[in-house]
């Protein structure tokens, strides 16, 4: 008797109206019809998108800096922070003439996130010292094969001409921190 809602079942013989079931069926149909005129709980997903919070943790993006160079330096902190061990990477050294492509002398030649392992906790975003990886409000597309859920750099790095805005994800405290001169070495 935790909820005080339990009922004692009494087995008594049904009368005529109860036995033909028609009133009960009619009552059930009435409830169904009533719901036809109520607001729908579902939306038609690919065409209509539900509004999500600005800090929603969806598909990742690897950011470029203001000149279009990749910010990621393959430091491995996201991979070591990842509780699902979904991130793997291979580093490479930047060659002469690639300064516009990569921000620092080391870059990730391979960067993969296994989206089936990822639990979207956002720890990679927090671990990143270079503001390179962010989670966005995009929802990852569905697919038929497991292989296609291993997202490489082709799917993760933002295109130069189609930048993904993440400024809303950064709280005023973070933006203030970045302006502080005392932390200017930490850029």
Partner 1 sequence: MAKVTIDGITVEVPDGTTILNAARQIGGEIVPPAMCYYTSLKDSGGKCRVCLVKVTQGSAKDPRPMPKLVASCRTTVADGMVIENISSPEVLEARKGVVEFLLINHPLDCPICDQAGECDLQDLSYEHGLADTRYEFERRTFEKIDIGDKIKLHMTRCILCYRCVLVANQLTEQRVHGVLDRGDRAEISTYIEKAVDNDFSGNMIDVCPVGALTDRTFRFKSRVWFTKPMDAHRNCTKCCGKVVLWTKGNDVLRVTARKDRYGEVSEFICNECRYEHKNLADWVVEGPRHINRHSVISQNHYEKIDLLKLKKEVERQLVFQKGKQLPPANQSTTYSTENGNSQTQTHA
**Contacts to partner 1 by CB under 8 A:** 73-77, 79-80, 91-93, 104-106, 129-130, 180-186
Q: How far is the CB of 48 from partner 1 (least distance, A)?
A: 41
Judged by CB, which is closer to partner 1: 78, or 135? 78
Q: How far is the CB of 131 from partner 1 (least distance, A)?
A: 11
| Rounded-to-integer distance, Cα 125 and Cα 119, Å | 13
Tell me the C-alpha to C-alpha distance, in Å, between residue 183 and each of 27, 64, 125, 156. Answer: 69, 21, 19, 29
Q: How far is the CB of 74 from partner 1 (least distance, A)?
A: 8
Q: How far is the CB of 1 from partner 1 (least distance, A)?
A: 44
Judged by CB, which is closer to partner 1: 3, or 184? 184
| Contact by Cβ (8 Å): 92, 184 | no
Judged by CB, which is closer to partner 1: 65, or 143? 65
Judged by CB, which is closer to partner 1: 127, or 139? 127
Structure tokens that stand for 94 in this block: 């930047």
> 123 by DSSP, 3-state: which?
helix
């Amino acid at each position: 008797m935790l909820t005080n809602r339990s009922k004692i079942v009494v087995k008594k013989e049904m009368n005529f109206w109860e036995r033909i079931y028609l009133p009960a069926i009619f009552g059930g149909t009435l409830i169904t019809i009533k719901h036809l005129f109520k607001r729908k709980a579902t939306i038609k997903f690919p065409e209509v998108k539900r509004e999500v919070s600005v800090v929603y943790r969806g598909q990742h993006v690897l950011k470029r800096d203001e000149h279009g160079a990749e910010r990621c330096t393959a430091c491995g902190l996201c991979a070591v922070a990842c509780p699902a061990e979904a991130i793997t990477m291979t580093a490479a050294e930047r060659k002469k003439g690639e300064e516009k492509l990569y921000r620092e002398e080391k870059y990730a030649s391979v960067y993969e996130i296994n989206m089936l392992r990822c639990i979207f906790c956002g720890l990679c975003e927090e671990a990143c010292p270079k503001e390179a990886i962010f989670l966005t409000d995009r929802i990852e597309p569905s697919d038929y094969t497991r292989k296609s859920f291993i997202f490489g750099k082709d799917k993760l790095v933002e295109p130069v001409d189609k930048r993904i805005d993440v400024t809303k994800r950064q709280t005023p405290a973070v933006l203030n921190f970045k302006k502080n001169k005392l932390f200017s070495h930490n850029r």
